[in-house]
Structure 1
Amino acid sequence: MGSVTEHGGRESEPRDVFRLPGFLAFWTAESVSGLGNQITTLALQVLVVVTLSGSATDVGLVNAARWLPYLVLGLVIGALVDRRRRKPIMVVTDLGRALLLGLIPLLWALDRLSVPVVVAFVAAFGLLSLLNDAASQSFLPRLVPRSSLLAANARLDQVGAVVQTSGPAVAGGLVTVLGAPLAVLVDAGSYLFSAVTLTRIRLEESTTQVRRASVNLWAEVAEGVRWVYRHRTLAPQALSTHGWFLFNSMLVTVFVPFVLVGLGLTATELGIALAGAGVGALVGSLLSTRIGMRWGAGRAVIAARLVMPLGWVVIALAPADGDRWTTVAVLAAGQLVYGFTMGAENANEMGYRQAVTPDELQGRMNTTMRSVNRAMIVVGAPVGGLLADTLGYRPTMWIALAGFVVVALLLAASPFRHARHDDGTP
């Protein structure tokens, strides 16, 4: 279906992106490595706690190491990626991640694995992931036309939602059957598969698309920051997203202890409740293209962020007494709404910011936003935990919910509400 433009015409719906040369290979690589990442996320935590007899603090250090490169090097990496062809970066970093993960079971077999070694490996893995993310998100606008970016991101979100729903179950089964160290080896294979698949993409990135190295790298970093935070529509979108990550990290931090301790449910019941988010995300991503074309990127994102708090209201009101499965159903319903809004929003947000950003600034735009978003997680997660320990789980949820509403209303009052996906089309 089409959507009415400001000039009274109708936008043509982008053709199925799977028919675009190279996109199927890109989608396949992202899908397989995404499933592998789900396996490693669970396997590493089990590895630290069970295999290495680590503490909760050790698990926290391992998780923090994953995002540390984004905080320290994110802006610089964006500038460096904009100087290089992006497909080779994706292939090399996938091979590097496969090698790193393959060494973990080897060191375990040699009795040379320890928590500090795992932390170091995860930090190195995070650096390679930072490079890969910057290149991947910046490569997509070269692979598909700007008019198809919304549909392309929606396709990626759809498989991401399936992985989010099924990944934990697959990971749990592999960890149970193979053990945590060998389960990590499966993820190593997924990155190797991804690297080989990416080499099949026949897209030559011309020399005109590669920036000549500047004498002053920091000038290029500053140029990317200025592009994001001085842009009429990207700036309010970026600031609102930073706030969203802050309050979302508080809610995500509180959710697990709220369910396990506050409501007294089991880990299995927690998993069932969390699966609701994956189902909702799949439905939202399936509808995201239609919503974005009809409403425009700005209104689609704003609507999703205004509805999202309702899912957490349902969760915050989950009964502590009574039938356990009723409580699980309430939690799953809240997660369903939460996942649906994220699925409907993400493709519209990503597609829009890729469409309005010039090719030579794609890497810096993506890493600027992602680095600050990750910084918000580093701040919000411990704040959420501290508030929960001090005030209780439900009061902390209401505080974060109020933050959700504020950042959504501020975005609705900004020029971003008029953003449309054809804003970046020449």
Structure 2
Amino acid sequence: MSASTPWYREGRLHYGVGIEDTFIPQERVGHRKLDEYELTQHYAHWREDLALVAESGAELLRWGVPWYLVEPRPGEFDWSWTDQVVEVMRELGIRCVVDLMHYGTPLWLENSFLNASYPERVASYGRAVAERYRDVWTDYTPLNEPHVNAEWCGQNGAWPPYLEGQDGFVKVIVQIARGMVRTQQEIAAVLPGATFVHVDAGFLFEGETSPLPRWLLEERRLLALDLITGRVDTGHALRGYLHQHGVTEADLTWFRENAVQPDVVGLNYYPRFSTGRVVDGRHEPVRSDAAGLRTLVELYSTRYGRPVAVTESSLVGTPEEKVEWLRLATDELLALRSEGHDVVGFTWFPFFTLVDWLYRYDQKRPDEWFMEFGLVDLVRGADQDLARVRNDAFAVFRELATDARAIGSSVS
């Protein structure tokens, strides 16, 4: 392959890891601040964490910018920390797929996603990041998991702007989608060769669901990507649903006239969570396996005709269970590639322990909400420092990633 060939056109599977980067800085009674970098001490250990990423053999790193800290006031940017991070990524040769928006908006953005200026504000922020780091960062996710954002912020009233119900879900997801379009347009204007990896949660459903019918849940999981790619036309299954909740034909025309396309479609799949039954609005997880992953890859590959990457996958379990999933998942993805599906990536996410989002709603210590998803565990010492401890799955991931890179080198 030539040096100018995009990584997703190299004809092989690329391995990546991701560092959990949820930022919900807004506080209210009963809702405390949630900043995963702070809770996992990534702000203090970021150099060590990046060194571990390089050691793991990962070719890609999903890593997010804390927007609320980088732009503390509208239009004013503080690059003091990200400048250091980017320089070390450059030195280590880490290709970062930048999560511009994982979860959470700045404190100054009144009503969060509902703010009338949100699409332009997030696009301006995205452009500023791309302009500053154009010589190192070339791969961008405008917003991670728009569907989950819309559920937590618009349907379930858990995160700002705290809306509820289907009307709230639609209002939030349409605003989010506008921001995704405008962000991609602004980044492309200053970085014409940028790669865009659009990422959403890959949900599967079993049995009958309530109160929303299963067909609606299955269509909604694709709504953000359908909107930004201009697919919501007169024949779309959700056109009536959108109109019912205030979306106009002018809104849908705007999306069609401003359609953007992802270079890579990213889907997130967790074998112990992504498949579920929805009863009385509650998601009841059902353990799945590689068959669920196959179903989603086939769906996204066929529907959008773009390269597909698994941008998040992992499980909470023993190192042996993690190794088993690593091998099962990658074997399935390689089989899908052999069948003609352009699967280009597998990302173990999160790379290390995260703090469950439910931490936000009580006063328990972060350790009581630790979820050991990672290839690296966090272990608190007497000095309260969180040591990074590789588990057995780390070495297996490194072996798989190194072998894949070697195959790619021999082909090129």
Shorter chain as normaliser: what TM range? under 0.3
Larger fraction in helix: 1
Larger fraction in strand: 2
Q: TM-score, normalised by structure 2?
A: 0.25
Select the structure of larger CA radius of gyration: 1
Q: TM-score, normalised by structure 1?
A: 0.24
